[in-house]
Amino acid sequence: MNSAETSSSRAAYDALEPGPLRDELYPEEAAARRAEQEQQAQEHTARLAQETSEPLVFTGQGAEYFRIWIVNLALTVATLGIYSAWAKVRKTQYFWQNTQFHGHRFNYHGSPLAILRGRIIAVVLLLAYSWSFDISTTAAVIAVSVLCLVAPWLFLRAQEFKLRNTSYRGLRFGFDARAPRTYPLLFVLALLWFSATLAGLLLAQTSWVVALSLAPLLLFPWMHHSVKRLQHSRSSYGTLQTSFTNCRGAFYSTYALTAVAFVFAIAASITVAVLLALPVSAAAQAIGMEMDTQTAVITGSAFGGALAYIMVFPLAAARIQRSVWTNTTLGPLWFHTDIGAGPYFKLVLKCALWTLLTLGLYWPFASVRLARYRVECLHVKAHLHTFPDLFSSVQSSQRTVRGDAAIDLFGVDVGL
């Protein structure tokens, strides 16, 4: 059979009406056709299963935010702090409206009055809390206990307020703040957080207080992981739910690494302080200041410790971000972050130095640079077949309308 013959019989096969008769007349062509179809289907499936990655984009400008920051500050000062709730809304709107994904922007809908109400209640609670320590030990123990009982509720409401007031493509994000399943865990976390305070109030012996303060320190990675798991497993966007894969090991290794790095940074800064102490105290004496080497070493070490904190904190933050986002999914979507300890560290250091050198005026520029880095490091990943129908399949969640009024009644926006 030559090729001309093959193509002519194939042409005849293709010309016939599809059906069993045609397949009987040209069995070879039919088999070839089936193989072709199967291969096409496989290729299609493979192509659809390919991953696609889409970045988030941040379009904020330092100079623009500087002006917003100054106007916010001026009005906050002029109104003795009352405007701070409006300032918070304006600032959050600026950052969300400048965050873009898939061609569209996010938005923030928090009500300034709700935030003001929340802030007044928070200030009253805080004053009552600190006042209780002046009244008596019993009052302080009661205040701490009440705070431990209330804190989980506050935390859930704050999460809910934040997410329910954030929107994208006309749909709100959400947070499942129903307490029964999470309240006990959050209560335990609050107790651990305040364990040192409670121990200080209830126990006379310093050694016990120290021991009880160290326990939460060892448990801190677990506590941090629990909070992140809660945030990343109970959030939603319309009908899409987030889920979170536990990664306690990553949290523990990050904190262990951070602790080691911190010890090294402290040791290094003390060494430098000791090495510099002699010339510095000599120089100080030369210009008429009285300073002995001991003071120079202590002062140098204090600054070194602060520097060590600035150096080590971005390392931990970058690693935690990585662990958290790579273990989060939102419906058919998952995430990837490029955040790196090195670049993030350099950025934080630059921002900190410029802010200090300009006596704080660089702060709005720093906020924008940090936000850009954190936002643009994040990529949303999906299979190729997910995107075309994704947005039409996401629906508004049922509870939105009913819940909005209740949420705006009391806007907890404490930075938890």
Partner 1 sequence: MSSAAESIAPMGVAATYFDGRTAAGTAVQLVPAGQRIEVRAGAEGAVIAEIDLARDQLFERFGFAPRQIVLVSGASVELPITVAGEAVLASAGAQPAPVARWQQRWPLVLAMLAGLLVAGVLGYLHALPRVVHWLAFQVPQPYVERLDRQVMAALERERLQPSRLSAERQAQIAERFAAAAARHAPDVRYSMVFRSMSGAAGINAFALPGGTIVVLDGLVELLGDNAVGNDRMLAVLGHELGHVAGRHSLRRLMQTTAVALGATVLWGDAAGLAANIPVLLSGLSFSRDMEREADDFSVGFLRSNGLSEAPLVGLFKEFERLNRGKEPPGFLSTHPSPKERQRRIEARSAE
Please state, in angstroms and rounded to a whole number, the distance separating the CA atoms of residues 199 and 210: 9
Quick check: 213 binds partner 1 (CB under 8 A)?
no
- CB of 213: closest distance to partner 1 in angstroms? 15
Nearest by Cα to 284 from 275, 296, 272: 296
The separation between CA 40 and the C-alpha centre of its own chain, rounded to angstroms, equals: 42
The separation between CA 374 and the C-alpha centre of its own chain, rounded to angstroms, equals: 9
- CB of 180: closest distance to partner 1 in angstroms? 30
Grouping H, G, I as helix, E, B as strand and the rest as coil, residue 243 is strand
Tokens of 21: 């008769």
> Contact 281/323 with Cβ under 8 angstroms?
no
Classify residue 252 as exposed, middle or buried by CB count within 10 Å of its CB (0-12, 13-18, 19+): middle
Per-residue x/- track, 279-298, partner 1 (CB under 8 A): -----x----xxxx-xx--x
Quick check: 113 binds partner 1 (CB under 8 A)?
no
Of 247 and 280, the one with the shorter C-beta distance to partner 1 is 280
Quick check: 233 binds partner 1 (CB under 8 A)?
no
> Contact 299/277 with Cβ under 8 angstroms?
no
Question: Which of 9, 10, 107, 382 forms a contact with partner 1 (CB under 8 A)?
Answer: 107
H or E segment to which residue 337 belongs: strand 333-337
Per-residue x/- track, 153-172, partner 1 (CB under 8 A): --------------xxxxx-
Quick check: 47 binds partner 1 (CB under 8 A)?
no
Q: Please name every residue paired with 107 in a beta bridge, in sequence order, or none if there are none.
A: 167
Outline where DSSP puts E strands in 159-277.
166-168, 171-175, 235-237, 240-244
Of 153-161, 245-253, 256-264, 351-359, which segment contacts partner 1 by CB under 8 A?
A: 351-359
Rg (CA), the chain: 30
Question: Which of 30, 32, 57, 73 forms a contact with partner 1 (CB under 8 A)?
Answer: 73
Quick check: 392 binds partner 1 (CB under 8 A)?
yes
Quick check: 354 binds partner 1 (CB under 8 A)?
no
Of 56 and 191, the one with the shorter C-beta distance to partner 1 is 56
Residues near partner 1 (CB under 8 A) are 59-61, 64, 66-68, 70-71, 73-77, 81, 84, 90, 93-94, 97-98, 104-105, 107, 109, 134-135, 167-171, 204, 206, 237-238, 284, 289-292, 294-295, 298-299, 306, 309-310, 352, 355-356, 360, 363, 367, 370, 390-396, 401, 415
